[in-house]
């Protein structure tokens, strides 16, 4: 198990941007330019895929060069399931294309040990005029299967796709859904040593997606090496042990998938699970109370940015009281990614609703029960309320952010469901079912 | 996992772009896919037609009839005593193959650019696929050839032994030109437009409707460099049994091999950047 399946060393991919349109993509224009300036023309002509030492050096300041990937190195062991995440343009797809040999690296080296199948798109090579049967063979071999392997898996593939009746119908007469199912069924039955997947889970209905997720989980368990690019963080945390976070063409984090996902979800937001104001003079507030820290903690009181949806989350406010002339009631509100306020809450320690606080440091914690918040980001706004209307010594919007993740291990409101589950909150409700057998119902 | 295969297959991907030839070992690894791609081309060609593969006979047959009427009857071209129908049939059969496969091979990369960006397999399979797929049409159209030869009671001669070499040359020419044009067309859009004319020029310069002996002796060598001349003249001598004109055939065969080798090397050199210049 310790042998590497994929070794990536100092990998860089450079694209020339802007020049593309201006470059000599017609011989006629080339010729004119050639007469004008042969040397310049020659450079332009090659520049789409050839780069000078100067252009590749760190000092180069021109803006026609884009480093889609820069100096990326990592190693994937046999049997590892690795999720690659990052915002659009971070270099994920470029990385997969390089490993899939679709486009060559500008610098660096990739060593792959084993048979690779890459799935950058479902249904590559599907031909509308061919029947379902023919397309299974064609697509299967395109994805790297041998004909014999397709023979063996054929019945399974058809059953998985659920298109037995339409086997000998040209694919052009299939519905979109059938096409996608057939394409994924072929892909799901690949048995390469190394599988490279890009965003394929974004297709099909929820039930089919679940089928695919389960199938992919099996693939991972069978000891295959999988590289998986997705925007579906739930799928990444469920399927992958390890995550690699790309940003602007470089690896910014590499580790446990769960950590990387929460890292990704909080990165770039300018907020994290804790915010402290060590310098008293900068701290929000006035001469009666000052905000010193806001934190989001787990059940053990540890700081955390990513929470299991089933676990309680502690919202913590630390403040210094300077004068005892006010009734002070800490206040929290949570907002989700869509800007919708999930709830607001005010201090439930009722003693302080009537009794002024003596000067000193206070830490108030509000506990959000498990199985209440939805998956995704939550932004915490904190304030100090008083009995004086409109008087708030401090009010910090989106002071910190954290992420709620459903690991899909059961015990959440999802149950066995892996599809979309909308709503600002996701309480795990008690459900009951009443059942009457069909015949009795008719009698009654 | 299966450690044997793991160690067997080590792929190293780097930026290097050397001068390489077709990697036959790699092609062999992809033989199943190659087979299905060729088979797809064959199957799709006559999909949803009533006549199906009969078109493979009809296409050249119509051409032969048109040429026989126009050039044989109306223009009354001199054919050294060979009946015009026979004279033109032995030329049109390989000519149709070369023209069709050359066009398809040259357009293969542009036509397959969708797949090019999504999956890896040896890029040379793009132009090679139509070269093999069109052989089916060629084989079917041989029916016409045999029919016409039977009708004119042509008795086979020892020249027929040359046929395998000529068929090989007939495949080499569109392969070589196809690789050149395909690799160029993906970078220069001009080539996509000019391609039709380049191919027509190559094809029409061949002695299809007229006999190569009509070419003035002083330019005969330059004329015979066109590999299509060698293939057509070769087919004629080989099938009808006229004396083999080596002066036409040898230069053409040599240039066919040169075009093939250079095309393969150029294609291999450029193949890595295809995706980046689409």
DSSP bridge partners of A367? A314
The pTM of the full predicted model, rounded to 2 decimals, is 0.71
Per-residue pLDDT at A35 exceeds 70: no
Which pLDDT value is given to residue A268?
44
Interface of A with B in 218-237 (CB under 8 A): 223-224
Cβ–Cβ contact B10 with A under 8 A: yes
pLDDT (average), residues A21-34: 64
pLDDT (average), residues A165-171: 91
Alpha-carbon distance of B46 to B55, in angstroms, equals: 8
Chain A residue numbers touching B114 (CB-CB < 8 A): 124
Q: Is B158 exposed, middle or buried (0-12, 13-18, 19+ CB in 10 A)?
A: exposed
Q: How do A395-405 and A306-308 pair as beta strands?
A: parallel
Which pLDDT value is given to residue B26?
87
Which pLDDT value is given to residue B3?
38
B176-188, pLDDT tens digit by residue? 999 999 999 887 7
Alpha-carbon distance of B273 to B258, in angstroms, equals: 24
Widest CA span of chain A, in angstroms?
95
> Residue B136: in which H helix or E strand, if any?
helix B125-151
Mean pLDDT of chain B: 87
Pick from B7, B15, B40: which is nearest to A104 by CB? B15
Cα separations in angstroms, B110 against B76, B104, B193, B270 = 42, 10, 12, 14
> Residue A361: in which H helix or E strand, if any?
strand A360-368
A317: closest CA among A278, A362, A273? A362
Q: Is residue B11 part of a domain?
A: no
Cβ–Cβ contact B17 with A under 8 A: yes
Q: Is residue B177 part of a domain?
A: yes
A184-231, pLDDT tens digit by residue? 888 878 888 888 888 655 555 556 666 776 777 777 778 888 898 876
Q: Are B264 and B176 in contact (CB under 8 A)?
A: yes
What is the three-state SS of A304-319? CCEEECCCCEEEEEEE
A326 Cβ contact partners less than 8 Å away, ≥ 6 residues apart: A288, A289, A356, A386, A387, A388, A393
User: Which two three-digit tokens encode residue B139?
Assistant: 């084989």
Domain that holds residue B266: 21-277
A250-308, pLDDT tens digit by residue? 998 999 987 887 777 665 443 467 888 888 888 889 889 999 999 999 888 888 777 88
Q: Are A315 and A368 in contact (CB under 8 A)?
A: yes
For every residue of A141-156, DSSP letters joined together read HHTT--HHHHHHHHHH
Domain count for chain B:
1
Q: Compute φ and ψ for A22, nearest 5 degrees.
A: -75, -25
For every residue of A9-70, DSSP letters joined together read EEEEEEEE-SHHHHS--SHHHHHHHHHH-HHHHHHHHHHTT---HHHHSTT---SSEEEEEE
Alpha-carbon distance of A13 to A95, in angstroms, equals: 9
A319-354, pLDDT tens digit by residue? 999 998 889 999 999 988 666 789 999 999 888 888
Pick from B1, B35, B275: which is nearest to A223 by CB? B1
B72-129, pLDDT tens digit by residue? 878 777 777 888 899 999 999 999 999 999 999 999 998 888 889 888 999 999 999 9
Q: Is residue B61 part of a domain?
A: yes
Chain B residue numbers touching A116 (CB-CB < 8 A): 11
CA atoms within 13 A on the CB side of A391: 11
Cα separations in angstroms, B66 against A393, B72, B204, B236 = 97, 9, 15, 19
Q: Is residue B222 part of a domain?
A: yes
Q: Is B14 exposed, middle or buried (0-12, 13-18, 19+ CB in 10 A)?
A: middle
Task: Please tell me the CATH superfamily of domain A274-405, with its number.
Answer: abc- transporter (atp binding component) like domain (2.70.50.60)
Interface of A with B in 69-108 (CB under 8 A): 78-79, 97-108
Mean pLDDT of chain A: 82
User: Which two three-digit tokens encode residue A191?
Assistant: 């048995």
Which pLDDT value is given to residue A262?
74
The CATH T-level fold of domain A4-14+66-265 is Rossmann fold (3.40.50)
Which pLDDT value is given to residue A341?
84
Which pLDDT value is given to residue A424?
87
Q: Are B168 and B253 in contact (CB under 8 A)?
A: no
Interface of B with A in 244-273 (CB under 8 A): 272-273
Q: Is A408 left (phi over 0), alpha (psi -120 to 50) or beta?
A: left
B1 → chain A, closest CA residue: A223
For every residue of B84-121, DSSP letters joined together read HHHHHHHHHHHHHHHHHHHHHHHHHHHHTHHHHTT--S
Any idea where the domains of chain A sit in the sequence? 4-14+66-265, 18-63, 274-405
- pLDDT truncated to tens, each residue of chain B (278 aa)? 333 344 467 888 888 777 788 888 889 989 999 999 999 999 888 887 888 888 889 989 998 999 888 888 787 777 778 888 999 999 999 999 999 999 999 999 988 888 898 889 999 999 999 999 999 999 999 999 999 999 998 888 888 899 999 999 999 999 999 999 999 988 777 787 888 888 888 777 888 888 888 888 888 888 888 899 999 999 999 998 888 888 888 999 999 999 999 999 999 988 888 888 77
Pick from B32, B36, B188: which is nearest to A25 by CB? B188
Q: Is residue B40 part of a domain?
A: yes
Which pLDDT value is given to residue A48?
66
Q: Where are the beta strands (DSSP E) in chain B?
A: 10-14
> Residue A237: in which H helix or E strand, if any?
helix A233-239
Chain B residue numbers touching A79 (CB-CB < 8 A): 1
Which pLDDT value is given to residue A176?
77
Cα separations in angstroms, B239 against A65, A98, A207, B68, B94 = 60, 51, 64, 18, 12
The 8-class DSSP code of residue A285 comes to B
Per-residue pLDDT at A440 exceeds 50: yes
| pLDDT tier at A20, thresholds 50, 70, 90 | very low
User: Which two three-digit tokens encode residue B100?
Assistant: 């069709």
Cβ–Cβ contact A255 with B under 8 A: no
Whose tokens are 């997606």? That residue is A209
B252 Cβ contact partners less than 8 Å away, ≥ 6 residues apart: B169, B224, B225, B226, B227, B228, B229, B230, B231, B233, B234
Which pLDDT value is given to residue A46?
61
Q: Are B11 and A118 in contact (CB under 8 A)?
A: no
Work out the minimum CA distance from A101 to partner chain B, whole angstroms.
6
Q: What percentage of chain A carries pLDDT values higher than 70?
A: 85
A72: closest CA among A102, A106, A101? A106
> Residue A194: in which H helix or E strand, if any?
strand A194-198
Per-residue pLDDT at A317 exceeds 80: yes
Q: Is residue B1 part of a domain?
A: no
A54-107, pLDDT tens digit by residue? 777 777 777 778 889 999 999 999 989 899 987 767 888 899 999 999 999 999
Cβ–Cβ contact B151 with A under 8 A: no
A179 Cβ contact partners less than 8 Å away, ≥ 6 residues apart: A123, A126, A171
Alpha-carbon distance of A328 to A414, in angstroms, equals: 39
Which pLDDT value is given to residue A353?
87
Work out the minimum CA distance from A116 to partner chain B, whole angstroms.
9
State the Cα torsion A151-A152-A157-A163 to the nearest 10°: 60
Q: Are A366 and A380 in contact (CB under 8 A)?
A: no
């Amino acid at each position: 198990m310790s042998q590497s399946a994929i070794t990536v060393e100092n990998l860089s991919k450079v694209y020339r941007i802007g020049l593309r349109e201006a470059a000599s993509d017609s011989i006629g224009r080339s010729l004119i330019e050639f007469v004008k300036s042969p040397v310049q023309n020659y450079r332009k002509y090659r520049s789409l895929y050839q780069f000078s030492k100067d252009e590749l050096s760190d000092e180069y300041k021109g803006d026609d060069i884009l480093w889609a990937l820069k100096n990326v190195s990592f190693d994937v062991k046999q049997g590892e399931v690795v999720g690659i995440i990052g915002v659009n343009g971070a270099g994920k797809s470029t990385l997969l294309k390089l490993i899939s040999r679709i486009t060559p690296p500008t610098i660096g080296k990739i060593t792959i040990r084993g048979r690779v199948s890459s799935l950058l798109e479902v249904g590559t090579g599907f031909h509308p005029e061919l029947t379902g049967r023919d397309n299974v063979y064609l697509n299967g071999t395109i994805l790297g299967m041998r004909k014999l392997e397709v023979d063996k898996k054929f019945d399974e593939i058809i059953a998985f796709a659920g298109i037995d009746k339409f086997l000998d119908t040209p694919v052009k007469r299939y519905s979109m859904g059938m096409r996608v199912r057939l394409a994924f069924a072929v892909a799901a039955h690949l048995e390469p040593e190394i599988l490279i997947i890009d965003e394929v889970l974004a297709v099909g209905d929820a039930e089919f997606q679940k089928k695919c997720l389960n199938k992919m989980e099996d693939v991972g368990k069978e000891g295959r090496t999988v590289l998986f690019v997705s925007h579906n963080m739930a799928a990444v945390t469920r399927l992958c042990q390890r995550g690699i976070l790309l940003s602007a063409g470089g690896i910014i984090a590499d580790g446990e998938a769960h950590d990387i996902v929460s890292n990704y979800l909080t990165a770039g937001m300018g907020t994290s699970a804790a915010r402290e104001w060590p310098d008293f003079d900068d701290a929000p507030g006035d001469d009666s109370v000052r905000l010193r820290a806001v934190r989001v903690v787990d059940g053990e009181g540890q700081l955390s940015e990513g929470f299991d949806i089933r676990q309680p989350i502690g919202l913590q406010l630390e403040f210094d009281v300077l004068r005892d002339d006010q009734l002070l009631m800490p206040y929290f509100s949570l907002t989700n990614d869509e800007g919708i306020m999930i709830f607001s809450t005010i201090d439930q320690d009722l003693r302080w609703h009537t009794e002024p606080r003596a000067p000193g440091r206070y830490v108030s914690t509000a506990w959000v029960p498990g199985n209440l918040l939805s998956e995704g980001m939550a932004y915490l706004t904190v304030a100090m309320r008083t009995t004086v209307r409109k008087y708030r010594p401090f009010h910090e919007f989106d002071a910190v952010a954290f992420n709620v993740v459903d690991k899909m291990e059961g015990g959440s409101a999802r149950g066995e469901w892996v599809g979309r589950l909308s709503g600002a909150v996701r309480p795990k409700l008690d459900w009951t079912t009443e059942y009457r057998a069909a015949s009795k119902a008719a009698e009654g | 996992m299966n450690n044997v295969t793991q160690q067997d297959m080590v792929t190293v991907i780097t930026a290097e772009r050397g001068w390489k030839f077709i990697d036959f070992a790699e092609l062999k690894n992809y033989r199943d896919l190659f087979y299905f791609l060729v088979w797809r081309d064959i199957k799709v060609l006559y999909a949803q037609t009533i006549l199906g593969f009969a078109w493979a006979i009809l296409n050249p047959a119509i051409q032969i009839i048109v040429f026989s009427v126009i050039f044989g009857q109306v223009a009354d071209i001199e054919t050294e005593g060979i009946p015009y129908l026979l004279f033109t049939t032995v030329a049109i059969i390989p000519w149709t193959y070369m023209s069709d496969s050359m066009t398809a091979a040259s357009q293969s990369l542009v036509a397959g650019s969708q797949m090019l960006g999504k999956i890896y397999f040896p890029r040379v399979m793009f132009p090679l696929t139509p070269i093999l797929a069109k052989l089916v049409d060629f084989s079917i159209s041989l029916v016409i050839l045999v029919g016409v030869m039977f009708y004119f009671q042509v008795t086979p001669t020892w020249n027929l032994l040359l046929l395998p070499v000529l068929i090989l040359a007939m495949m080499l020419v569109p392969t070589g030109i196809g690789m050149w044009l395909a690799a160029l067309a993906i970078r220069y859009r001009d080539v996509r437009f000019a391609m039709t004319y380049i191919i027509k020029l190559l094809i029409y310069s061949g002695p299809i409707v007229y006999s190569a002996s009509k070419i003035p002796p002083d330019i005969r060598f330059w004329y015979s460099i066109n590999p299509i001349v060698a293939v057509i003249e070769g087919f004629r001598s080989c099938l009808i049994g006229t004396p083999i004109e080596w002066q036409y055939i040898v230069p053409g065969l040599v240039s066919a091999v040169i075009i093939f080798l250079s095309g393969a090397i150029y294609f291999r050199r450029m193949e890595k950047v295809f995706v980046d210049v689409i």
